[in-house]
Structure 1
Amino acid sequence: MDEMKDIRWKQRFENFEKSFKLLEKYSSNSISTELERAGIIQFFETTFELAWKVLKDYLESEGYIPKSPRESIKQAFQVELIEDGHLWMEALSKRNSTTHTYDQELAEKLVKEIQEQFLPLFRDLYNKLLKER
């Protein structure tokens, strides 16, 4: 059973890695069109979903039982799997509000936050879990 939990987070990590790499690749380019902004926001949504789920799966393999994104983030912070718990909570809040981002100004602001704040969070998690894999 424990081996299955160990495999689960590693499989989820592979999906997170693919999504993170796409977000990283396209976030480094100049983003000027509505379509590009929508793409970055979509990559962020997907990457965040996979990030919290890989956190949850990893924590379960370590014997913890988080039941939600918020619990997963809190527990990951407590065991020092992630460093900036407040910024992860902010990413969760932004992820929950992205479906309401119709306004161009809000979309531009979110893309900037993704590039400057959330992408480094994902990069830190990626590098940490890459060593664990």
Structure 2
Amino acid sequence: MFAKRRAAGPVDTRLKDIDMHLETLEQALALLEEVLAEPFSALVRDAAIHRFEYTFELSWKLLKRIALVEGQKAESPWQAIRAAAEAGLLQNVDLWFEMVECRNSATMTFMPDISDQVFKAACSLPSSLRFVISAAKKKYFGKT
């Protein structure tokens, strides 16, 4: 009476998870880009830093999920970045490592030098992340 459904395998489930995570990440990225388009002020800088923090967090979690699909384990942002680079999803690994450091420093943004450094990372994240999103969609879903 009812057709049997094929159970989703671990790879299918992981790909579905990546697809959903990509959607959430694109929403966060749009919010970061929105604030970066505003004329610079201390308020814009602080908002951009906050949005950078959660967008970067979502970014490395996506890379962690991608590592699993690639058969690797990535428990830290560093490992996830290395795995994504090996999968051909990153253009500038050193920039991503710098963004990890900036994300880790984000709680110290009351110090002008640190806030400038983290804001600079926030400004560089969108183009790097757009590349990752595009490459992941192409590699895992055949989308451009």
Normalising TM by the smaller chain, what interval?
Answer: 0.7 to 0.9
Post-superposition shift, 1:105?
Answer: 5.0
Gaps of 5+ in 2: 1-9
Matched residue, 1:51: 59
1:86-114: CA deviations, max 9, x gaps?
Answer: 11000000000001110245424432342
Q: Choose the corresponding residue for 1:126, options 127, 133, 136.
A: 133
Q: Which residue of 1 aligns with 2:3?
A: none
Q: TM-score under structure 1 normalisation?
A: 0.87
Query: What is the root-mean-square deviation in Å for CA atoms of aligned residues?
Result: 1.7
Q: Aligned residues, how many?
A: 131
Query: Deviation of residue 75 (structure 1)?
Result: 1.2
Larger radius of gyration: 2
Q: CA, structure 1 residues 105+71, in 2 after alignment: closer, same or farther (shift >3 Å)? A: closer
Higher helix share: 1
| 2:27 aligned residue (13, 18, 24) | 18
Runs of 4+ in structure 1 over 6 Å off: none
* Structure 1: tracts of 5 or more residues without a match: none
Overall identity of the aligned pairs, in %: 28
Is residue 103 of structure 2 the alignment partner of residue 79 of structure 1? Answer: no
Amino acid at match of 2:65: D
Query: What is the TM-score normalised by the length of structure 2?
Result: 0.81
Q: Alpha carbons of 1:96 and 1:105: their partners in 2 closer, same or farther (altered >3 Å)?
A: closer
**What CA distance in whole angstroms lies between the structure 2 residues aligned with 1:126 and 1:92?**
18
Q: Distance in 2 between matches of 1:25 and 1:18?
A: 11
